[in-house]
Structures are given as C-alpha cells and as structure tokens.
Structure 1
Amino acid sequence: MLVQISMRMLLLALCLHNGPVAVGANGASGDGGDIISHAFGVVQRLEALLVQGNASDVTLRVETPNADEVKLIQAHSLVLSLQSPAFEGLLLSRNGSGTLVLKESSDCAAVFDKFIRYLYCGEISLQLEQATPLHKLATKYRVLALQQGISQYMTQNLARDSPSGHVVGWYEYALQAGDSTTRDSCLDYLAWNLSSVLRSKEWTTISGQLLMSLLQRSDLVLQSEMELFAALEAWILRNEPDGLTAENALRAVRYAMMPPRELFRLQTQSPVLARYQESVRDLLYMSYQFHSASPLHMAKYFDVNCSLFVPRNYLSPAWGSPWVINSPTRDDRSTSFLTHLGPSGHDANKRVTWNALFSPRWLPVSMRSTETGGATQPARVDGAQPRIMITPATSSVDFAGVNFQKTVLVMARQQGKVVVKHIYNFYQSTEENGDFLANADLNSRSSQYLTGGSLYLHVVVKPLYQTLITTTTKN
C-alpha cells in the first residue's frame, strides 16, 4: 500500500512539474475555461520512467517455453494496475515478491516491450506481422482499448502489400480468438478480391476450413469459374489433402458455369479431376444437360435452384461491365452494356442490352410525388442518397421464368490499391438496399471511394432460375 501511495505522489509530481492540465478563467480547472495542456510532456516523462526504471517496484520476468532467453523489464505496479485488470490481479497475488513471472509464446515475447510501453504512453507503432501477437497480449491482459485498436488496424490494412501475405493469418487468428468482426472483414476481403488472392503466395497456405468457407459463397469476385478451378487444382496438388477434403472442395465448384468446351478440356487434361472424377461425375453430367437444354426444360428434371446453377460475381464481359462515374455528385449518369441471356449453352447466342442510370440525389419512393404516364418517376433533391437503376432495353419472351439479379461492386482505395469494398444486390434499383453508398461521402475529395475524383463500379447481371421451379412444381 505504501508503494502505491508513493507512486501516486510521483505521478502527481510529474503533472505539477509540467504545469497545470486545465486552468479556467477564474483559475479553477474544469469550469469550461481555456485549457493549457502539458499532457505530451507527462507522457514523455512516463516513458522515461519506464526506460530508466526509476522508482520501479516490480520486475517483469518474461519467459518463453523451450527458449533460454529471458526478458526482464523494470515496471511500476500502479501503472500496470491502472491499465490492466489482469495485471492488477497478478500483482495482488504475488505474495510480496518483487518479481512477476510471465509465460509468453515467442511471438508475444518479441513484442512485449512494445506492449508495456503502450501501458505507459498510450500509443504504439507496429508492423503487419506484429498485429497478431500484440492483439493476443491485449486480450490476455484485458487492455480493451488496445485490443479494439489493433482489430481496427487489421480491418484498415487488409489491402497492404506484404511478402508472404497476412490476411489469411489474421483470419485464422480471429477465428480462433472469437473476434467475429475481424474474421468477417478478412473473409469478405478474400471473397471480394479473390482474383488477386488466387495469384498471391497466400492462396496455397489457406486451411481446408477457409477454403470451403470461400468455395461455398456466391459473392466471390473473380474472372470466371475456370479461374477458380485452376486455383483449386493448384491448392490440392500443393497441399495433398485427405480424399474427403479434396472431394468436398471439388464438389463446391460450379461446373455449370463453365462452357462445354472447357468441361471437355478439364476431363481430358486435369490431373486432379482424373483422380477424383467419380466424386463429381453427377455434377458434370448435370452441367452438360444444363448446356444442352433450355432452363425451362431442365427445371422439369433437375433442381435448378441448387448452387451448381447459381452464378458468382464474374468479371468477364459476358456477365457485366465496369462503370467509371466522373464527378458522381453533380448530375445523373447513364450507360448501356450487353450480357448473355444466361450461362446455359442453350442461350449462348442470345444477348440482352441493359440501361443503367446513376443519380447522385434520388428521393425514396415513399417521398416521391411526381408521376408521368401513370408511372412514378424518381425525384432528385439535395440531401437524398445516390441510387442506380438497371433495366433491360427491351422486353423479351426469352425472359419468362428468369429473374435477373443485379450486383454492383463498389471499389475503394486502400493502402494505394483499388479493392472491392462493398457489394450491393438488387433486382431493379439499389433503392432496395437502403444503404447504398450511405457512408461513402462522395462530396469529400479525401473519400476512399473516389479515385481521381471518379467513382469506380462494376455491374454484374446474374440470371437466376428460381421461378422456373415454382412454375414446374405447380404444373
């Protein structure tokens, strides 16, 4: 108890030495008057206190299993207890000993000095590879502010370049630590920027669990299903997983989204498919049938609502188009583009022309009052949110029984890269989402969603056949 009192007097002396923290108009602090702050000087003296070990009353002995090196840090009970409830408990239970023995893994021991310095100074500098061990320490010693700060750092630095990659490692750690926010941020980044991930060194290091989490998603952003299969084949050849893992992964490939010529090539040239062809034979058969008959005819015999027949977010021109909107806060913008009617080989020669309208200030339906020809028109006013509407240029009997889901990929600048930041799905207008670009702040030049003052989007049109099932079931 005497030690804690002396430490409080020491900290008070530091504050007084640097001048008053707050002085009001009548000389009293905290009355809303002008502030004179010497907080930076106090922090500097606290750091010097740690470095020099003055008035230290506890020695932190950091030991690493199976290692001879021991790290000793002269510290102060009051600072440790104020910053960490876990340290407070450990210090109270040390039975008067001047040494506190701490068992840490080698990666945590390597950054332990940084962690302790944060407790004294309230700031920390770190590199990508130090984020995980520092988060472990912040979690173990219940330093909530640092724990949250590192989680935010991870989310903001997913796109940063690193020699061997870091997002997969952060995902695996967040999954183990129960950090759902960081886990989901990592998983979304991997899924929405999969083409670049497939070309990185990180791809072959992912676990079977993460692999399946990605393969089962319909919102993967990549050039084509063939690109995904080639990367999966490389993963299997490199990692040599057990047969069940390989079969489950191969059955998650959407073969129906590949043209028949590519399916034939895979069956004759792929060493992985040659080894596991029996486990996916039924999927290949259904895919060939899908390409040879109309979707309406297919729906009479197969469940076309299963994932095999659901497109992902493919970037190839057959599925959509990039769209760069210059000065997106000024006036409406429009564009047109062509897509295939559907992924089925039966529809290979059929095209659909799409008209897209971007409005920076689109009033919600509930607030519209203008009508033209009996149809409600979008009204644009200041303060309303941006919206996109995508409609076919002409109607066609070929559309019968097919729903077209539109997907807008929104790019953003992160760490010098342009990455997919958000994905919005809708059937006619992004108004169906309600939060389209709600936090983009397109009026600010510093907005991460603007590159050179322009908004970079990619529109994907995905034909879905669910309604065919309903029709054939009733018949």
Structure 2
Amino acid sequence: MKMVKKVVLLLQAVWVWTTAADPLKVDGQPDDGGADTLSHSLSLVQRLEVMFLQGNGSDVTLRVETPDADEVKLMAVHALVLSLQSPVLEHMLRVRNGSTLTLRESPECAAVFEKFIRYLYCGDLSLRLEQATPLHRLASKYQVSVLQRGLTDYMKLNLARDSPSGHVAGWYEYALEAGDVSLRDSCLQYLAWNLSSVLRSGEWTGVSSQLLMTLLRRSDLVVQSEMELFAGLEEWISHNRPDGLMAENALRAVRYAMMPPRDLFRLQTQSAVLARYQESVRDLLYMSYQFHAASPVHMAKYFDVNCSLFVPRNYLAPVWGSSWVVANPTRDDRSTSFQTQLGPSAHDASKRVTWNILFSPRWMPLTMRPMYTEAGAMQPTRVEGGRPRVIVTPATSSADFAGVTFQKTLLVLAQRQGRLLVKHIYDFHQSTEENGDFLADADLHRRTSEYLVDGSLVLHVVIKPMYQSLVTKN
C-alpha cells in the first residue's frame, strides 16, 4: 500500500507541475476512437529531471563508494523511479535497512554514476567515447536493457571516431568480458577490415595478446602487404616484450610465402625480432623459399603445403588489385581494366593477367530474370529498378592459368566521421551476384547515402590467386 500511495502522489505532483507550467498541447490527429491526443511528456521529463537535481521529495540516499573508499558520492533519489527502471535496484531498495543504500563501483563507473542515475529519470544522456564502457557496464549490472542496447549501438556507430589512444580494441576486450557478441564481432570486423590504418595508430601497440592472435589468424585482414603486417607485429613485440612462446606463436602466424624473396632476405638480415626467434620459424621460411623457387603445383606433389601460409589476405598493393572510384554510380554501366601478377609465387610473379571490371547500377538478379520470350529470344538483363552488380573477368584465357584459381574480393569503402573505411567485403569468383546481397541497402540514388563519397562509389578490387591443390578454408 505504501508503494501504491507513493506512485499516486508522484504522478499527481508531476501532473500539477506540468499543467501549471505549459499550455495544453493538442495533437490534431485523432486516434482510432476519434479522440484527440493530449501530450505533456516533455514537461514530465523536465520535471523529473528537476526532482533528481534538487532532490525534491527524495526518500533514499545513494552512497556510491570506490573499492578503496577514497571517493564517496551521495545522491538523493526516489525509490519509485529507480525501481521502475531497474529490477536490480528495485530488489536492493526493497531489502535495504535504513534510508541509505550503499553501492560499490569501480572508479570509472563511479565517475559516470550520476549520468547513469539521471538517465533513469530522463531517458537521455550525453557522453564521450571514454564513458561508453563504464556506462554500458552499469546498464548491464543493473539490468537497464534499453540503455544497454542503446550504448551498444552507440559504440558500433562510433568505431571510426578519432581518439587520442584509440578505443576499438578496448571496446572489443570489454565486449568479450561482458559477453556482448554483437559489439565484439563489430569491433573485430572493424579492426580486421581497417588494419592497415590501425597499424599506424596509437592503439596498435596496446592490443592484447589474445586479440593480436585472433587478428593474425584471419584471412580477411586488409593491409598493404604481408610485409606491412610483419612490421606491425615487430613493433608490437618490441613494445610489449611478450614471453617467448607468445612471440613465437605470433611470428608463426605470419604468411611468409606471400612475401617476395627479396623481402624475405631483408627480414633475415635486418629484423632484430626475427633474428631472436628465427629458429622458431625456420621451417616456415624454408618452405616459403621452396614455394618461390619451384612451380607451386609441382611442389605440392611432394610437400604438404595445404595451409594458411599459402592463402593471400586482402592486400591493397597494386600487384594484387586496383582501386576504382565510380562517379555518379546510378547513371549507367561503367568499365575499366587493371593488371595483377599471375600468382604469389616468384615462379609466377613476372607473369601478368589483365582484368576487365564492369559496374552496372541496374542489373536484375539471376533468380528474378526471365531468360526467354515466347518467341524464344533472350530477354535483356539490364533493367530499370535492378540492383548494382560488379563483374570481374580476365581479358584473355591462357594456358598459364592451369592449376590456378582466382578469388575476387571487392572492398566497398564508406565515409564515417570524416574517415574512409571498409564497410563491406564481398568474395566471389566472377560476379557480385553470387553474394545475393551486394549493396542491397546502399540506396545510391540518395546523395546522403553513407556509401557515397563526394557522390562517388569507392571500390577496391583484390585478386587472390590460389593454386588449386593449395586451396583451403581459413
């Protein structure tokens, strides 16, 4: 009965405050019953905020302490409001002794606790990047699910924001700890797809050994070359000085066979890290030199080389592909051409393959395409209202292609917070139509589309040659 009485008194007080302060607002659109709608919701929120800031009618004092009790915060609050928003606080308030409820929080969470409580009253908050994790931790601890989801969305939308020491790796570690799978996967994908820029940031040397190994094992890393990745790893090892086993495992995740022999020789003579741990990767270096010296197809007859060492990542260097800026992508079909090396092995590196690439903004999906008319003639497949499509084909067939398959990878870049980043990656053999969802939600007709950079679609095509006997899933 006491709780019911408090509810009634609170609502009566808020109604008096709102109606006294604001003229009646009438929404001219009647509801299903033909009645108009009266709305004082904004004033209600404003009055609740005043109640929190001034402590009017409070019945509980929150005492927020840090573990070593060197910082204490006192807040006059209303048990009803907190109980309605958080089942955890509702239980703690119900079983408390006295008018004070003591809560122990980490220094980071204590610093933003007032923001958290204000959200329970007002339903909004302002925050900086570094405050997202402690606020998310509080929302999770006290089971304020709406705020928890909102903060997850905020973090996913702000992965590309500039910060002095970086924040994505820290958010990944937190998501891993908190069990937030959606946030964890978004952070990991961002780091992998934009690793070339992450390697040059202040965040790189601070990533954990667990995150480092998770990244090194991926084939979808976007970097200039394997040499760039090795240089980043060398910097990480020099800065963090991990134990020998960790360093060896990390060095063994490098794909040395994707480096030209001249780079391998330079590493062996100039890298202090490789000199220290060379014995642990000697077999990989030896196999890489063999890979470059002989025909890879011939080599596969005698050695077990079916491993990630021989699978290219998404390399941005010109020998692996080409960037392409498609201006006014909704206008008409566009095409261009570029060259890559036949294969990663030095045996094939001097051989060049010319590729033709076609972009069509309105291509009917294969599953919806009527192939023949009643007279038996083939129907055109380029139609108004169709979806974008990219086709990549070799300019000529060649006997040199024997034993080699080509996976095409298309990077779609977008602009976020003023930075160009990889938004999507599509893998296919000839056409993006194989994916089924290529640019499905891009809406290229809308000039404000996040897929457009100054009105253009920015793409990067990567050709990943793999010797057929070496193809493996990674």
- TM-score, normalising length: structure 1: 0.94
- 1:444 matches 2:446: yes
- SS of the equivalent of 2:127 reads coil
For the structure 1 residues 396 and 69, does the alpha-carbon distance in structure 2 shift closer, same or farther, using more than 3 Å as the test? same
Aligned partner of 1:56: which letter?
Answer: S
Contact kept? 2:300, 2:469, Cα under 8 Å? no
Between the aligned partners of 1:225 and 1:199, the Cα distance in structure 2 is: 15
Aligned partner of 1:52: which letter?
Answer: Q
Between the aligned partners of 1:316 and 1:376, the Cα distance in structure 2 is: 41
Aligned partner of 2:18: which letter?
Answer: N
Q: CA deviation at 1:226?
A: 0.5
Deviating more after overlay: 101-110 vs 7-16: 7-16
Between the aligned partners of 2:273 and 2:237, the Cα distance in structure 1 is: 8
1:2 matched residue in structure 2:
2
Kindly provide the CA deviation profile for residues 73-126 of structure 1, in whole angstroms up to 9, marking residues without a partner as x: 10001100111111111111114x111110100000000000000000000100
1:172 matched residue in structure 2:
173
Between the aligned partners of 1:310 and 1:442, the Cα distance in structure 2 is: 34
- SS of the equivalent of 2:284 reads helix
Q: CA deviation at 1:418?
A: 1.0
Deviating more after overlay: 437-446 vs 148-157: 437-446
Q: CA deviation at 1:183?
A: 0.6
Deviating more after overlay: 147-156 vs 14-23: 14-23
- SS of the equivalent of 1:355 reads strand
Between the aligned partners of 1:259 and 1:338, the Cα distance in structure 2 is: 18
Kindly provide the CA deviation profile for residues 294-328 of structure 1, in whole angstroms up to 9, marking residues without a partner as x: 12112112334310000000001000000111111
Which structure 2 residues correspond to residues 67-466 of structure 1 after superposition, within 5 A? 67-95=69-97, 97-370=98-371, 379-466=381-468
Aligned partner of 1:43: which letter?
Answer: V
Between the aligned partners of 1:405 and 1:418, the Cα distance in structure 2 is: 24
- SS of the equivalent of 2:236 reads helix
Between the aligned partners of 2:215 and 2:410, the Cα distance in structure 1 is: 20
For the structure 1 residues 401 and 33, does the alpha-carbon distance in structure 2 shift closer, same or farther, using more than 3 Å as the test? farther
1:15 matched residue in structure 2:
15
For the structure 1 residues 198 and 377, does the alpha-carbon distance in structure 2 shift closer, same or farther, using more than 3 Å as the test? farther
1:54 to 45, 53, 56: 56
Structure 2: which 5+ runs fail to align?
none
Between the aligned partners of 2:155 and 2:292, the Cα distance in structure 1 is: 44
Q: CA deviation at 1:36?
A: 3.6
Q: CA deviation at 1:370?
A: 4.4
Aligned-pair identity in percent equals 70
Q: Number of aligned residue pairs: give it.
A: 467
Structure 1: which 5+ runs fail to align?
471-475
Between the aligned partners of 1:379 and 1:8, the Cα distance in structure 2 is: 66
Aligned partner of 1:390: which letter?
Answer: V
Q: CA deviation at 1:361?
A: 1.4
For the structure 1 residues 296 and 50, does the alpha-carbon distance in structure 2 shift closer, same or farther, using more than 3 Å as the test? same
Deviating more after overlay: 155-164 vs 438-447: 438-447
Between the aligned partners of 2:463 and 2:182, the Cα distance in structure 1 is: 29
For the structure 1 residues 33 and 16, does the alpha-carbon distance in structure 2 shift closer, same or farther, using more than 3 Å as the test? farther
Deviating more after overlay: 205-214 vs 434-443: 434-443
For the structure 1 residues 70 and 180, does the alpha-carbon distance in structure 2 shift closer, same or farther, using more than 3 Å as the test? same
Aligned partner of 1:84: which letter?
Answer: S
- TM-score, normalising length: structure 2: 0.94
Kindly provide the CA deviation profile for residues 273-307 of structure 1, in whole angstroms up to 9, marking residues without a partner as x: 11111110110011001111112112112334310
Contact kept? 2:88, 2:142, Cα under 8 Å? yes
- SS of the equivalent of 2:362 reads strand
For the structure 1 residues 400 and 39, does the alpha-carbon distance in structure 2 shift closer, same or farther, using more than 3 Å as the test? same
For the structure 1 residues 7 and 377, does the alpha-carbon distance in structure 2 shift closer, same or farther, using more than 3 Å as the test? same
Between the aligned partners of 1:29 and 1:347, the Cα distance in structure 2 is: 72
Q: CA deviation at 1:195?
A: 0.9
Between the aligned partners of 1:42 and 1:447, the Cα distance in structure 2 is: 36
Q: CA deviation at 1:38?
A: 2.2
Kindly provide the CA deviation profile for residues 414-441 of structure 1, in whole angstroms up to 9, marking residues without a partner as x: 1111100111100111111111111112
For the structure 1 residues 376 and 139, does the alpha-carbon distance in structure 2 shift closer, same or farther, using more than 3 Å as the test? farther
What's the RMSD between the two structures over aligned residues?
2.2
For the structure 1 residues 375 and 309, does the alpha-carbon distance in structure 2 shift closer, same or farther, using more than 3 Å as the test? farther
1:473 matched residue in structure 2:
none
